[in-house]
Structure formats: C-alpha cells, structure tokens
A and B are shown apart, each in its own frame.
Chain A
C-alpha cells in the first residue's frame, strides 16, 4: 500500500468560523486504492475537512493537491466532475421519485436524445449499476417506499456510478443491518481492487479497524496521527481521540448536594430511541450525560420534558409520581430545558431579544386584563442581560442579529426567568466561542451552588467531566455507565460510549 501513488493531499488546512477555529493545520493524505478512515469526537473537524474538499467551504489557509495538482473546488458539482463523490450521513434522496431517477439525477442528458428522455434506457443503466454492486433493489421503486437501509445502498450506488477516483463515506453503516454491512464491505473491497480510494468516516472503532487500510485521528480541528490499521488497537484510537489534558476552563465550584428531587425509572420512548433509562437527580447536583451523538441523551430529555411521548416509565418529583405530557406541564412542575437545537426549538428569529427572553415566564407578569407588565419585563430582562453579560445594542433588536453565543445566553436567560427547580441543558455551549463558554460554565456552577438541580448533556468529554458531579454514559438508547466525579476517567467513558 505504501508504494501506491498519492491521490490526494490536504496540507496545513486552517478554517476559522466566527469565534472558533474549526480546523487548525489539519492534514490528510490519501493513496490510490486505499480505504482511509478518519476518526475523532463530534466537533473534531472531520466534516469540516470533507466540506472543504468538496468545495462547500473555502479554506483560510492550506493547500489541496489532487492528482498532483493544486486545486480548489468551487462546489460539490465541481468536485464530482473532477472525480470525488460523497455518501452523506443523512440521505439526500428525493422521496417521491424512483431509485433510477435518484441515481442519475443531474445526468439525464446521458439518456436524452433530441430533447426526449429515454426512461427505459435510464432504468436499464441503473439496473446495471445495482447488479454490478450486488444490490437487490428495483430501479423503479420509489424512495419513500424503501427502508432507510435500502436508501443508504441507493446512495452507495449513486456515488459509485460517477466512476469517481475517491468516494467519501460519512457514517455509511449507521443505518445498515449486519447483512447490508457485509455487502457494503464487499463493495468497498471491489472498488479498491479497481484502484478507487475510499475515505471512511465512522464512530464504530471496531469497524474502522476491520475495513480500513490506514486511519487518521483528529482532535479539536488538529491532525493527531495517521497509522496502518493493522498495527492499531481500539485503545490506541481512543487515546488519540480523547488524549488531552484538562485545562482550567471548567470552574465547577463545590456545591452542597441535597436531597433527591427527581427520580426517573425505566423510561422508554415510542420512537425506540430511549430504552429503559433510569437515574436520579439531587438538589445542587450537576448530572452530566456523556455519549456519542444519537446515543439517546437528547431523546431522553425530550421525553422527560414532554416534547416526545413516553412508552413506559415513571417520573417521580419530590417523592410524588407525575405525568408530563407537554412542555407546558413540565414548566408547571418546575422544569426548564435549554434544547440542543437552538434554531429549530430555541429562538424566535423574528422576535426581539427581550421578547425571546420573556416568552416562558410571561404569564407570571401578566395582569388580570391579559396585559403584560412591560416595566417589570424590561427590568427582569436587563437584570438577566447583566448577569449573563449578553452583548446587545438594545433588548429590542431582533435576536437573529446576535452572535451564536449571545443567542444561547438569551435562551438560557429565558429559562432562568421561569425560576426552575430542575434545569436541563442540552449541549449548552456547542458552537459558541471560548469566552461565552466560560461564562456559561460559571453561571451553571453558581446555579448549582444555589441549590438548583441540573442535568447537562454534552458531547464534549472535557466539559462533562469538568462540570459534572456525576456522569451517566449512554449508548444506543441505554445507560451503559455511571461515574462519580472523582473516579471519572476519559478513556473509560469513551470506551463505554463507543461500546468497546
């Protein structure tokens, strides 16, 4: 393999987003005909690196050398025509159209004669592609009538049909069952035998070591190491993925931990994303939830907060059994929840900062006539602005004009104004800059000190370990580990999270 010529080289790639350095002198070398895995935590920079390669972003610094020439693709279309195709993690297929239409979308002119599309010819070509890969799907089936796994295979067929020199696969097996995974492995081996290179992004370390020839590990946007897969163990990979020192960013202050306030017993959800989850929470405690994205942590909290329906399970608050069927009820019982998805479930982009902050507790300052006490509102919001140091030119400006960090602080302010007893924070500092992050950590710490019970989900291991009194680790909808603050060890947690 070492003798194979280099197909792609990405050198010293740096990419900054407002407030964050997503990539910091990252590098990657792909040889012809190899399967090259990229591993790293969420936010390590894997996706950003791929987006730069495909031309979705432009790098701030660094060079991309493709087949010996320095290039910069302007769009995915540009990348495809130069021989790079990608299988996305979330499928990009059109539900109401056929498999064949999806495989050849954008390339219909291959089958067009005198302006008329020859559908039969196109379907036959699709059949040939599917047959050559051993995928048993009819080209005429509609996408919406297929399973997620089948559609994932259609994505594979489409990527292969471009006859690319390099195919990027982002978590291609996450939706596949064992038999399909074996089929995918076979397809990958056939492709590499023909000299095609594969970039394989996966969180499943066992699979990474099985299928790939070489592995590159990334962390915090930086290149960590590249090694032959056969010389690696899963422990090596985990060390690379995690191995860093705790810095002083997480100032969890000692808080007096009181009585149990909340007990959750055998929680399962209808959507099967949460299976039999039990835990308890005490006053003044910060309970961290660690795990990979999709492990069921967000879904657990959504169910607890009444956003998604429960299948089974009990919620006991102050020793009394309660049923929460809507966020409205959850708020009534003293819960607050800062959701992970700020755009979809958090901000009201067209409303003012102040209106965004006051929406939950508005009832508390509404008089008998239904009118809002606007002086009180102004006073409380100003107080929150100062307390959380939210940078706004005016509380009346639309929230969409604020930076991500300040939007997040405004949302936290919204939920603090509701004076919760239990505060759930789902990825409270994701995608925000270092300064704002530290301030939010400080506030969380203060709240715990004042006796609030806090649940904090974070995919950033350092953050969970630095802030939590206790850490629950989830994988595939279940709780697979519990660590006390003193005994928490990053490698142990990662092993549980990766399931190895």
Chain B
C-alpha cells in the first residue's frame, strides 16, 4: 500500500521533471516575464511586448534555419556575415537598379540559398569540419559585403522594403507575422515530413543514415540551403526595419542564434531539433536584452550578459541530460 503510494509519488515526480526538462525554455521564459513585470510596470504594456516580438523577429527567422543546422549535426559560423552581405546586396539592388522589389526579394533569397549551399559544398566535397569552412566563408561574405557597400550604409529604400520591417497587418507587425510563419513552416518540416526525419537521422548517426539508404550529401545541401533562405528573409526584415542597410549588421548574430537554439532545447551535436523551442529561446534572449535596457544597463555589460546566457544554456543542456539519465536509471532500479 505504502509502496504503491511511493511508486505513484515517484512516477509523478519523474513526470514533472521530464516535463520541466523538455520545456525548459518555456519555463525560463515565464520566470523572466514575471521578473520583468515586477521590475518595471512598463514591461507588460502591449507596446513593449509587440516591440520585443518585433526586435526578435529577424533573430527568430535565422534561429529556425539554425535549428535545422544543429539538428543535422552541423554548425554554421557564417550566418551573421551572410546576413550583413545580403542586407547590403538587397539595398544596393533596390536603390540602384530598376528591378521590381519582388524580383529583388527573390534574388536575395536565391543568393542566400547559394551561399548556404556553398558551405555545404566545401564541407561535403573536401570532407572538412563545418566549423572551419563556415568560419572562412563568413570572412568571404564579410569581404564581399564591404566591397559592395564600400563600408558605408545604404539608405533610401523603397516603401515595400521598409514595409517588411516596419509595416503592420491589422495590429500585427509584418516581421512578427513572418517570424511566426517561418516557425510554423520549419516546425512542420521537422515534425511531419520525411526530410525532417532524415535530417535528424543524419544528425544522430550519419554513417548509419548512409547505411539506411539516405543520401547524406543531398540532405546536407538542403539543410544549408534552408539556412541560407532563412538568413535572406532575416536580412530583409532587419534591413527593412532599420530602413537602411548597415555593413556591420548581422555580425555576432550567429552567437545569438546558437544561444537561442540551445536554450530552446536543440542541443549541439545533432539528432534533436525543436523549432518551437527556438522560438521561445529567441524570446528569452530578446527579453533579457529588453530587461537590461529597462534597467539601463550599459551596452558593454549587455555583451557580458549575453555570453553568460550562452554559457548558462549549454551548462543547463548538459545538466538536464544528466538529470534525465539519472532519473531513468533510478526508474530501472
């Protein structure tokens, strides 16, 4: 009788831990929201909330691509520079050619896709670690960016361009709408399609994936291509929001993206992918920035805070695996 009770207690505790660990991003987010609303009455104002959502939109879109990269066991350090380059190219095409804006958008997305696939090409053909390839490719993107822009900002964008970054549909800002749409598309890709399964299989064990008849290189191209497309969309949003393209923009965003994705429950190392978690992860990073702003913390200290968050996220990730493992072992006994 007593034993049975213990058993159910134990089971409940076990389930609670599992739920907590599997949704840690959501819980961290809730804690932060409570913390922020206590800290500043202004925080819960709809204007501030919408502002935060708008601020994290570009990072979220990029983070979606990044979830696929990490889920398939890869790494991409070039995305920040790719974003900067695409923003400049978009602005250049918009201001100095007579191409319709829709064509500009398609071209930028195409270039983003090609940039991603170039990463996949060098990783695959020469079997190099993605880490180094994308580090080098990032420098190339940065160089092209500076060549094209001559390291000065480009402004005078057309109205459609700024609409992507600043416009509203009803009360919902366009960038927020876009980030939600991309989140949905990527979530469906991961959870419902054969491709989603394949990329997780490659991320978990690429030798076994090949032996199971998967075309590993094909999957790698697709993943990096989707990453590039996400970066292109993020670049359009970010450039449109600022109403000008800054050569420096995007730099360091790969770190934010990694932090957000990992906090969201997609660990480094492949085999797991949680796009909806990435959404929360991006909100967490955005919220912390917002809180630090509300507290008027010096922007240099904000960098320190951001680094600390990445560290925290990775430690939490490693620890929660261990905790879950320990719970499972206890369960076996």
Contact = CB atoms under 8 A, between A and B. Distances in A.
B10 to A, nearest CB: 15
Given A349-B271, A351-B201, A351-B271, A366 B193 contact: yes
A338 to B, nearest CB: 10
A351 B204 contact: yes
B306 interface: no
Contacts of A345: 207-208, 211
Interface in B171-199: 188, 192-195, 197-198
Contact of A414 (B188, B212, B328): B212
A337 B201 contact: no
Interface residues on A, range: 20 to 34
Contacts of A414: 212
Contacts of A332: 213
A307 interface: yes
A363 B212 contact: no
Interface string A326-339: 11101110000101
Q: Pick the most buried of B193, B201, B208, B213: most chain A CB atoms within 10 A of its CB.
A: B213
Given A328-B215, A348-B204, A348-B271, A359 B197 contact: yes
Given A349-B205, A370-B194, A401-B328, A327 B271 contact: no
Contact of A307 (B192, B193, B210, B215): B210
B208 A347 contact: yes
A351 B206 CA distance: 13
Nearest to A346: B208
Interface residues on B, range: 20 to 34
A358 B200 CA distance: 13
A327 B194 contact: no
B204 A372 contact: no
B214 interface: yes
B272 interface: yes
A359 to B, nearest CB: 5
Contacts of A326: 210, 213, 215
Contacts of A362: 194, 197-198
Contacts of A374: 192
A369 B192 CA distance: 10
A121 to B, nearest CB: 38
Given A370-B193, A370-B195, A371-B192, A327 B212 contact: yes
A121 B188 CA distance: 65
Contacts of B209: 348, 359
A355 B194 CA distance: 10
Contacts of A327: 210-213
Nearest to A338: B211
A200 B207 CA distance: 35
B192 A347 contact: no
A339 B207 CA distance: 11
Given A346-B208, A349-B205, A349-B271, A355 B200 contact: yes
A350 B204 contact: yes
Contacts of B203: 350
B204 A360 contact: no
Nearest to A372: B194
Interface string A349-386: 11100010011101100100111101000000000000
Contacts of B270: 350
Given A349-B271, A351-B200, A363 B194 contact: yes
Given A350-B271, A366-B193, A330 B208 contact: no
A113 interface: no
B61 to A, nearest CB: 21
A359 B193 contact: no
Nearest to B192: A371
A351 B210 CA distance: 16
A120 interface: no
Interface in B85-106: none
A372 B211 contact: no
A464 B214 CA distance: 31
A344 interface: yes
Interface in B12-56: none
Q: Pick the most buried of A307, A327, A350, A401: most chain B CB atoms within 10 A of its CB.
A: A350
A337 B193 CA distance: 25
A347 B324 CA distance: 20
Contacts of A366: 193-194
Contacts of B271: 348-351
A203 to B, nearest CB: 28
A366 B207 CA distance: 23
8 contacts: A305-B211, A337-B211, A349-B204, A349-B271, A350-B203, A351-B271, A355-B197, A359-B197
Interface of A: 305, 307, 326-328, 330-332, 337, 339, 344-351, 355, 358-360, 362-363, 366, 369-372, 374, 401, 414
Closest 4 CB pairs of A and B: A350-B271, A348-B204, A331-B213, A328-B213
Given A330-B213, A350-B272, A358-B197, 16 more contacts: A307-B210, A326-B210, A327-B213, A345-B207, A346-B208, A348-B201, A348-B205, A349-B204, A350-B200, A350-B203, A359-B214, A360-B212, A366-B193, A370-B194, A371-B194, A372-B193
